[in-house]
Chains A and B, each alone.
Chain A
Amino acid sequence: MMKKSLSILFVLLMLVPFSLVAQGAKEDKPITIEFWTHEDVNRQKLEDRYIQEFQASHPNVTINVTRQGSEKLIELVQTSFAAGQGPTVFNLSINDEYPFMAAGRVAPMNYKAAGYKDAKDVIGAYAPKMLDPVTKDGNVYGLPLELTNWCIFINKKVFKDAGLDAEKDYPKTWEDMVAVSKKIVKRDGDIITRRGYDFRYKYYLENCVPMVEQLGGKLISDDGKEAIVGETAWVKFLTYMQQWGPNGENLGSPTYTAARKEFNKDNGDIAMCSTGLYQEARINADNPSFYNSKEWMVVPYPKFKDAVADVSSCYYGHYYMVNADADPATQAAAWEFIAYMLSHGEEYLKEVNIVQPTTALLNSETYKNMPYSSVFTNDLARGHIVYYGANSTSIQSALGTAIQAVMLQDIAPVDAYKELKKTVQELINEQ
């Protein structure tokens, strides 16, 4: 009996080192993070360095980064999740990301891994309401890579060429925008060879819904039940767009090259465009002589003369999220990696001109010293987050159809409004 007990004890003692080794092996278990993000030449340089640094300090972690155009990325992420092969970490605009959160495909934050105590600690580190879109049932599901709003960038040289002084004559109202554009625009017959301004087509939720709100309309009623509220406001907005397009004053069209892409070239093709603070870094990268010449400026988002609400362009956030299908160890590593990248807020701001809306950064001297940062900050206070919901992509498309209908297809604004209301109502009823 004694011999038997000793034998059993001996065997158990033999197993102890094995279990310790197994524990150690678990801690060093190789982890692969698939990181998908959108292309940005300036941000890429920083991220590649952060990835190398993180991998150096975490030898068991390998990070594979995939970069795509922002529109392509939406489709790729969606398709990959449908196939059960979604990336570990990704970022999209919140209106495209929200369905993932609603469907439970992304994991709540591992606060400890990210260096926080709890949800309250995270939320407290950011400016008020910045984490509202990614907070659900008391848990935070994403951290913002950037928070962006759009103001109007102006090329002063084009204004001068048109006999205008950008500092005085910049458009303060949408009516001014038409008047100024009429003075700047050049045509060869019907064909526009120089535009004053052009809209950021396809991003109607961000850029156009605020115009309607200025006139007293709404995308969705406060109780979420009615779509396209305020016929007068919507018809006035659609009439404005119709007048802007080829069938009206012919000041611009979705079929011309995107205004922000032309702006950096400083080739006299465009005077104004809507874009974010990040455009400054892009101007500097694409055309340093234009950037350094200071022949550009940024002004606030215009307002209709008879606006009933002072609303600027909607801001949107790109949030890093983590795939809920990843195992706990990978999720923890992913959150730690995200937090590591985002701990370089000032560097992102200086090199890429993107704003991570932490309280610390927004109050920093670096942010305050960015050219025209005050314009963006003031407009941020006038604006609100872009609409996000399960059907935001479809609603964005429906808005596009209505605007194209009045601009390009000669449909009457009232008819376009009715069709839009019917379509979006159907979409929110589905939700």
Chain B
Amino acid sequence: MPKQLKRFSIEKQQARWGLVFTIPCLLFFALFSFYPIINALMTSFTNRQAVARTSKFIGFDNYVYLFTKDNGGFSMLNSMRATLTFTIGTFIPMVIISLIIAVLMMQLRHPSERGFFQIAYYMPAVLSSVVAASIWMIMFDPRGLVNQLSNKLMLTSGRDFRWLTNDSMLQFSTMIVYFWKYIGYFVILFITGLASIPPMLYEAATVDGSSKWHTFWRITLPLLKPTVVLVSIMAMLQCLKTFSTQYMFTQNGAARQPIDVITMNIYFTGIRNGRLGRASAMSIILFFIMLILTYAQFAVSKTDDVEY
């Protein structure tokens, strides 16, 4: 083939246009994501403080400090514990229950019924995290709605279930808020995934005498794998980045240590205490935790395409 023809082949033309449309996004990502990450990495190797004019290179001292010292009573190890507890306690039930709700919703015959439940579940996701946390703060107040409902359900009177004062209950409270806020979002994602499965497969399965459970387990779930992987990674990453709920709770008197997630520790270390170098090191550690867990997710899920 002549060289000129090769140069202007259709694939190359398409590739060129693809680049043209992708460049603005890449620039945006470079400016607002890539640059801050590099900046944080560089700062993590310094002793930079918010009010100090100068800083000096200290190598890995910040990282060593975070894993060996107390950080003013709020250690990185405690933050990692709090973050992982929250993540495991929230994202696993969220993925499972949102899948179940999506499957049940798809069984509804009338589209209007389905629409109503979709809106009802999705509405909390529209609220800002701060507003959601504020609403639940009022409800978790000792004299609030949650204690009253809990007393009614448990057939007790005047019992304080310590939603904000007991360590375990406090962690559970933050999980409830997060779960309530985001369950609808992941239900919608699962509904989208379920809707993309060709109905003829279910028809074929019915003809072959497959039970509902067998159909779900052997057809629905394998074909939904890409969506499950997407949802579980998104849910996990969201949980690892949680901040507003924990921050609002601690600002209103709840103990900090049980729910001192990494993002909140970064905030207090960097913004309240002005230790920008140390806070940057924490954010890099969080970045690597997210990277490792995402890779592990991909490895475990074995996202081979399922052919049908």
Binding site for B on A (CB under 8 A): 71, 74-75, 78-79, 81-82, 99-100, 103-105, 187-193, 201, 246, 253-257, 391, 393-394, 397-398, 400-401, 404-405, 408-409, 419-420, 422-423, 426-427
Cβ contact within 8 Å between A426 and B72: yes
Q: Please give 18 more A-B residue pairs, beta carbons under 8 A apart, in addition to A82-B50, A82-B276, A423-B72.
A: A82-B51, A99-B51, A103-B53, A104-B53, A191-B158, A246-B165, A255-B165, A393-B272, A393-B273, A393-B274, A394-B273, A397-B72, A397-B256, A401-B73, A404-B255, A409-B258, A420-B73, A426-B70
Chain A CB within 8 A of B100 CB: no
Q: Is the pair A405, B72 in contact by a Cβ cutoff of 8 Å?
A: no
- Roughly how many angstroms separate A246 CA and B167 CA in the complex, as a whole number? 13
B residues within 8 A CB of A423? 70, 72-73
Query: Which residue among A74, A394, A409 has the maximum number of chain B CB atoms within 10 Å of its CB?
Result: A394
Give 28 A-B contacts (CB < 8 Å), ordered by A residue: A75-B272, A78-B51, A82-B276, A99-B51, A103-B49, A103-B51, A103-B52, A104-B53, A105-B53, A188-B143, A189-B156, A190-B160, A191-B142, A191-B158, A246-B162, A253-B165, A254-B253, A256-B142, A257-B141, A391-B72, A397-B72, A398-B72, A401-B255, A404-B255, A408-B255, A409-B255, A420-B73, A423-B70
- C-alpha spacing A419/B70, complex, angstroms: 10
Complex interface: chain A residues within 8 A of B274 (CB): 78, 82, 99, 393
Question: Could you say which residues of chain A place their CB within 8 Å of the CB of B167?
Answer: 408-409
Let me know if A187 and B158 touch, CB within 8 A: yes
| Interface check B268, CB cutoff 8 A | yes
| Contacts A78-B50, A190-B159, A255-B141 given; does A401 touch B257 at CB 8 Å | yes
Nearest CB to that of B249 among chain A residues? A255
- A404 contact from B53, B141, B256, Cβ within 8 A: B256
| CB-defined contacts of A256 to chain B, threshold 8 Å | 141-142, 253
What residues of B have a CB within 8 angstroms of the CB of A79 in the complex? 50, 271
Interface centre among A255, A420, A423 (most CB of B within 10 A): A255
Inter-chain CA distance A192–B165, complex, in Å, is 14
Chain B residues contacting A427 (CB-CB under 8 Å) are: 72
Tell me the bound Cα distance from A420 to B167 in angstroms.
19
For the complex formed, measure the closest distance between the CB of B18 and the CB atoms of chain A, giving whole angstroms.
37
User: Is B252 part of the binding interface, using a Cβ–Cβ cutoff of 8 Å?
Assistant: yes
B202 sits at the interface (CB 8 A): no
Alpha-carbon gap, A98 to B213, bound state (A): 67
Asked whether B214 is an interface residue with its Cβ less than 8 Å from the other chain, the reply is no
B74, B157, B255, B258, most chain A CB atoms within 10 A: B255
For the complex of A and B, the 4 pairs showing the least CB-CB separation, nearest first, are A189-B158, A254-B253, A190-B160, A82-B50
Q: Tell me the residues in window 145-160 of chain B with beta carbons closer than 8 Å to chain A beta carbons.
A: 147, 151, 156-160
Please tell me if the beta carbons of A75 and B51 are within 8 angstroms of each other in the complex: no
B236 CB–A CB distance under 8 Å: no
| Nearest B residue (CB) for A97 | B51
Tell me, in angstroms, the Cα distance from A104 to B54 when the chains sit together: 11
- The interface residues of chain A lying within 8 Å CB-to-CB of B147 are 191
B253: which of A75, A193, A255, A398 is its contact (CB, 8 Å)? A255
By the criterion CB–CB under 8 Å, are B253 and A74 in contact? no
How many angstroms from the CA of A235 to the CA of B254 in the assembled complex?
Answer: 22
| Complex alpha-carbon distance, A188 and B50, angstroms | 47
Is B254 touching A255 in the complex (CB atoms < 8 A)? yes
* CB closest residue in chain B, given A253: B165
Shortest C-beta distance, A120 to chain B (Å), equals: 28
A116–B169 Cα gap in the complex (Å)? 58
Contact-size category for B = 35 or more
Whether B164 sits at the interface, judged by CB under 8 Å, is yes
- Shortest distance from the beta carbon of A419 to any chain B beta carbon, whole Å: 7
B115-153 Cβ-contact flags toward A at 8 Å (1 or 0)? 000000000000000000000000001110001000100
Q: Chain A residues near B16: list those with CB within 8 A.
A: none
- A420: chain B residues at CB < 8 Å are 73
CB–CB A74/B272 < 8 A: yes
Chain B residues within an 8 Å CB radius of A394: 72, 273
Q: How far is the CB of B178 from chain A (nearest CB, A)?
A: 19
B70 CB contacts on chain A under 8 angstroms: 422-423, 426
Q: Is B212 an interface residue (CB 8 A)?
A: no
User: B69 within 8 Å of A by Cβ?
Assistant: yes
A193–B143 touching, CB < 8 Å:
yes
Closest CB in chain A relative to B35 CB, distance in Å: 15
On chain B, the residues within 8 Å of A82 by CB distance are 50-51, 274, 276
Tell me how far the C-beta of B60 lies from the nearest C-beta in chain A, rounded to whole angstroms. 18
Residues of A within 8 A of B52 (CB): 103
Q: In the complex, which of the residues A79, A191, A256 has the most CB atoms of chain B within 10 Å of its own CB atom?
A: A191
Residues in B neighbouring A398, C-beta threshold 8 A: 72-73
Q: What is the minimal beta-carbon distance from B265 to any residue of chain A, in angstroms?
A: 11
Distance in Å: Cβ of A299 to nearest Cβ of chain B: 25
Within the complex, the shortest CB–CB distance from A4 to chain B, in Å, comes to 52
Residues A189 and B51 in contact in the complex (CB < 8 Å), given A255-B141, A393-B272, A404-B257: no
When the two chains form their complex, are residues A81 and B272 in contact, meaning their CB atoms are under 8 A apart? no
Quote the shortest CB–CB distance from B162 to chain A (angstroms): 7
Complexed CA–CA distance, A293 and B88 (Å): 56
CA A331 to CA B256, docked complex, whole Å: 40
Contact of A255 with B252 in the complex, beta carbons under 8 Å? yes
Task: Tell me which residues from 264 to 281 in chain B have a Cβ below 8 Å from any Cβ of chain A.
Answer: 268, 271-274, 276
Q: Which residues of B contact A81 (CB under 8 A)?
A: 50-51
Please name all residues of chain A whose beta carbon is closer than 8 Å to the beta carbon of B162 when the two chains form the complex. 246
Q: Is the CB of B142 within 8 A of A192?
A: yes
Return chain B residues, CB-CB under 8 Å to A426: 69-70, 72
